[in-house]
A = this chain, B = another copy of it.
């Protein structure tokens, strides 16, 4: 393993000079030296030792991609298809910017801070925590970070977030459903904060606008734990059959929509003829089930690109124009909604 000093000795120049040409601080080096050094560098197959870099600068070139290893997700958040689709895009953007991706499932925000300081991470992309966690994180470390899909009660100084227009997406989906003749829509989610809450509110607004009632009866909280959730579907189905009230089910995520849809179909319910089902996210799975799922699409690669880009902007100290980047969202109409005319 060849070091800067080796190159310097070989060429009879100083380490500083070599370091300077490596970093393109080339205005104070003669053309000739530059050439010599560059040749020696590539001939010797020079690769920087990041230990040295890390120690001498405050810059590791590592971007931490950190997920919340919340018990709620049974330590399987990385198996969530939604998360998974974004990791891929994140890694690509990070790599193309010349950084390295450190993937970490954190148990708490303190963990995140720990990783950040021990590695002198250049920046962090963080998922799945709550507003107060992000605020704490900001106060604990000076490392720049951007949260993805964070929901904040207000603009928070020093925190950049990239999210999607959950409200608008759900609102549009609500309008779409109503246009299709649905008047009794049930919204299902595993919690009532953050994105899911916004999605609920979007639907509510759409219904209100069309003179339809949306009360807490139109919202079911379903279990986040897979095993309990699967146990819940039969209950849901029998309730639906009994009351015969709802014509459409709006799940807060595709993953749940698909699970439920499959359960229903397997038990003799015809989707969409007996009941319509929609989701949110447009994960890959939505196109491989039958009927194909009508849903609200978010552009994951774009989300990843925006997040990495925003982070790089802070790292490079460019001016930041937006604190809260909201990406648009679109309805994708497929086969899981019936027209009720």
Hey, which chain B residues are within 8 Å of A53, CB to CB?
Answer: 51
CB distance from A53 to the nearest CB of B (A): 8
Task: Tell me whether A50 and B105 are in contact (CB under 8 A).
Answer: no
Q: What's the Cα separation between A258 and B76 when bound, in Å? A: 24
- Find A78's partner among B87, B118, B259 (CB 8 Å cutoff): B87
Contact of A103 with B105 at beta-carbon distance under 8 Å, contacts A88-B78, A119-B50 already known: no
Hey, which chain B residues are within 8 Å of A288, CB to CB?
Answer: 258-259, 262, 285, 288-289
What is the 8 Å Cβ interface bit string for chain A, positions 48-87, against chain B (1 contact, 0 not)?
1111111100001010010000000001101101001101
Task: Tell me whether B100 and A104 are in contact (CB under 8 A).
Answer: yes
Task: Tell me whether B92 and A85 are in contact (CB under 8 A).
Answer: no
- Find A117's partner among B1, B265, B289, B290 (CB 8 Å cutoff): B1
CB distance from A93 to the nearest CB of B (A): 11
- The answer to whether A282 has its CB under 8 Å from any CB of chain B is no
Task: Tell me whether A91 and B105 are in contact (CB under 8 A).
Answer: yes
- The answer to whether A245 has its CB under 8 Å from any CB of chain B is no
CB distance from A339 to the nearest CB of B (A): 20
Interface residues on A, range: 35 or more
- The answer to whether A102 has its CB under 8 Å from any CB of chain B is yes
A277-304, CB < 8 A from B:
284-285, 288-290
Closest to A94 in B: B103
- The answer to whether A35 has its CB under 8 Å from any CB of chain B is no
Closest to A289 in B: B288
Q: What's the Cα separation between A115 and B95 when bound, in Å? A: 12
- The answer to whether A97 has its CB under 8 Å from any CB of chain B is no
CB distance from A305 to the nearest CB of B (A): 14
Contact of A92 with B75 at beta-carbon distance under 8 Å, contacts A265-B290, A285-B285, A290-B265 already known: yes
- The answer to whether A38 has its CB under 8 Å from any CB of chain B is no
Task: Tell me whether B104 and A50 are in contact (CB under 8 A).
Answer: no
A147-182, CB < 8 A from B:
none
Contact of A102 with B101 at beta-carbon distance under 8 Å, contacts A51-B51, A120-B51 already known: yes
Task: Tell me whether A52 and B50 are in contact (CB under 8 A).
Answer: no
Hey, which chain B residues are within 8 Å of A290, CB to CB?
Answer: 262, 265-266, 289-290
Task: Tell me whether B84 and A120 are in contact (CB under 8 A).
Answer: no
Closest to A116 in B: B47
Interface residues of A (CB under 8 A from B): 1, 47-55, 60, 62, 65, 75-76, 78-79, 81, 84-85, 87-88, 91-92, 95, 100-105, 114-115, 117-120, 258-259, 262, 265-266, 284-285, 288-290
What are 18 residue pairs bridging A and B, where the CB atoms are less than 8 Å apart in the complex?
A47-B117, A49-B55, A51-B51, A54-B54, A54-B55, A55-B55, A78-B87, A79-B88, A81-B284, A87-B87, A91-B103, A100-B115, A101-B102, A102-B103, A265-B290, A288-B288, A289-B289, A290-B290
Identify the 6 closest CB pairs spanning chains A and B, nearest first. A51-B54, A78-B88, A51-B55, A101-B103, A84-B84, A47-B118
